[in-house]
């Protein structure tokens, strides 16, 4: 009898979840963004030095009146000593230095201070890049509520803010996971207005949010349920969430570099490869290099540890020079 009751409760819960999501599609939006999941929980975003980034400045900008978003600017490691004790004005002045800039767009959950994100900032800084990152509205200590349109607008605002401070140094856009959807949205807008970035780097990208949601491990128990699309995927669309990178690449005109680990358990490898195939056939990308760099499962980089690759500096330095699909297979992690 206890076993029957347990099975009955499991069945009730199994049936109830799709019904609840269909009736309350805002729940599905929260599951896409996961902005309420703040890991690590006790980090003080005002003090990036607590995360080992003592050449990083925290500040706030207003993409809209009354809407504040938190931003970090990490200078190249070569400026580490000079950065000690400096304030925002000094950091602002460093954009005139002879170093390229990466605008980093993070994925869902956590904040700009997430550990794997911090480790990537350190790697990019050591390679001589300025790294500018921020929390979208609704994330971290930024105001507002999340939406695809809001995330894209915030990214566009930060990009324009950077361009006003840069002379002729390259400005690259790097998106990770859900941030790749924001990145392609942003670059499409930039290309539509005739001002593409110097390059677009997509780490662990997907084609569009519906395909990603269907491939996500959390959907496994419902994937073959009749009406899965109606219950779950249509609820995402009802929230105006698309992140259609597979459409965006047909409107992008700048070099594209895609990085994806074969053992990625969050965004399946086949989605990154599918996006690459679509991009490589895009008419708007004709004449621009489109690179795909897979990382072998034996390296165990999974969804968020590509920064550990000792090949990353070489990959970035050659991103506009090679045209073939490059395999990174037999290198130990840092």
Show the domain range for 201. Answer: 42-210+242-319
| 167 is an active site residue | no
| 280 is an active site residue | no
> For 214-252, what is each residue's pLDDT tens digit?
998 888 878 878 888 888 899 999 999 999 999 999 999
Q: Are residues 21 and 88 in the same domain?
A: no
| 73 is an active site residue | no
Mean of the per-residue pLDDT values for the chain? 92
Is residue 324 one of the residues assigned to a domain?
A: no
Confidence band, pLDDT 50/70/90 cuts, at residue 319: low
Confidence band, pLDDT 50/70/90 cuts, at residue 322: very low
Amino acid 10: pLDDT? 86
Q: Are residues 232 and 83 in the same domain?
A: no
Q: Are residues 20 and 146 in the same domain?
A: no
In this predicted structure, the answer to whether residue 333 has a pLDDT above a threshold of 60 is no
> For 74-124, what is each residue's pLDDT tens digit?
999 999 999 999 999 999 999 999 999 999 999 999 999 999 999 999 999
This prediction has a pTM of 0.92
Q: Are residues 151 and 23 in the same domain?
A: no
Concatenated DSSP letters of 126-181 = HTT-EEEEEPPTTSTT--S---HHHHHHHHHHHHHHHHTT-SSS-EEEEEETHHHH
Q: Are residues 235 and 251 in the same domain?
A: no
Query: Annotated catalytic residue: which of 55, 264, 291, 309?
Result: 264
Is residue 262 one of the residues assigned to a domain?
A: yes
Q: What share of the chain is helix, strand, coil (3-state, %, to 5)?
A: 45, 15, 40
> For 125-142, what is each residue's pLDDT tens digit?
999 999 999 999 999 999
Q: Are residues 24 and 120 in the same domain?
A: no
Is residue 103 one of the residues assigned to a domain?
A: yes
> For 278-301, what is each residue's pLDDT tens digit?
999 999 999 999 999 999 999 999
Q: Are residues 90 and 164 in the same domain?
A: yes
Check residue 52 and give left, alpha or beta (phi > 0: left; psi -120 to 50: alpha). Answer: left
Residue with tokens 């000079």, as numbered in its chain = 82
> For 158-169, what is each residue's pLDDT tens digit?
999 999 999 889
Q: Are residues 233 and 252 in the same domain?
A: no
Is residue 331 one of the residues assigned to a domain?
A: no
CATH number of the structural domain spanning residue 49: 3.40.50.1820
Asked whether the beta carbons of 297 and 262 are under 8 A apart, the reply is: yes
Query: Annotated catalytic residue: which of 142, 177, 204, 282?
Result: 177
């Amino acid at each position: 009898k206890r076993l029957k009751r347990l099975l009955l409760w499991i069945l009730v819960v199994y049936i109830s979840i799709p019904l609840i999501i269909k009736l309350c599609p805002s729940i599905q939006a929260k599951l896409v963004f996961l902005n309420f999941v703040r890991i690590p929980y006790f980090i003080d975003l005002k003090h990036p030095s607590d995360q080992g980034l003592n050449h990083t400045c925290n500040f706030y900008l207003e993409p809209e009146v009354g809407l504040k978003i938190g931003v970090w600017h990490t200078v190249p490691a070569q400026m580490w000593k000079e950065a000690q004790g400096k304030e925002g004005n000094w950091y602002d002045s460093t954009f005139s230095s002879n170093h390229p800039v990466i605008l980093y767009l993070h994925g869902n959950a956590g904040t700009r201070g997430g550990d794997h994100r911090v480790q990537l900032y350190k790697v990019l800084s050591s390679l001589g890049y300025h790294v500018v990152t921020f929390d979208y509205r609704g994330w971290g200590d930024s105001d507002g509520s999340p939406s695809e349109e809001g995330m894209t607008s915030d990214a566009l605002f930060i990009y324009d803010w950077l361009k006003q401070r840069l002379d002729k140094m390259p400005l690259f856009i790097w998106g990770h996971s859900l941030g790749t959807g924001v990145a392609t949205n942003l670059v499409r807008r930039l290309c539509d207005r005739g001002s593409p970035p110097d390059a677009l780097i997509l780490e662990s990208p997907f084609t569009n949010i519906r395909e990603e949601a269907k491939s996500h491990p959390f959907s496994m128990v419902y994937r073959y349920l009749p009406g899965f699309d109606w219950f779950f995927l249509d609820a995402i669309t009802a929230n105006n969430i698309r992140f259609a990178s597979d459409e965006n690449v047909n409107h992008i005109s700048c070099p594209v570099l895609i990085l994806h680990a074969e053992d990625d358990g969050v965004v399946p490898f086949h989605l990154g490869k599918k996006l690459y195939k679509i991009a490589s056939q895009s008419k708007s990308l004709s004449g621009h290099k489109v690179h795909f760099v897979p990382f072998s499962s034996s390296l165990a980089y999974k969804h968020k540890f590509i920064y550990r690759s000792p090949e990353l500096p070489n990959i970035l330095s050659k991103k506009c020079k090679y045209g073939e699909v490059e395999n990174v297979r037999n290198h130990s992690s840092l």
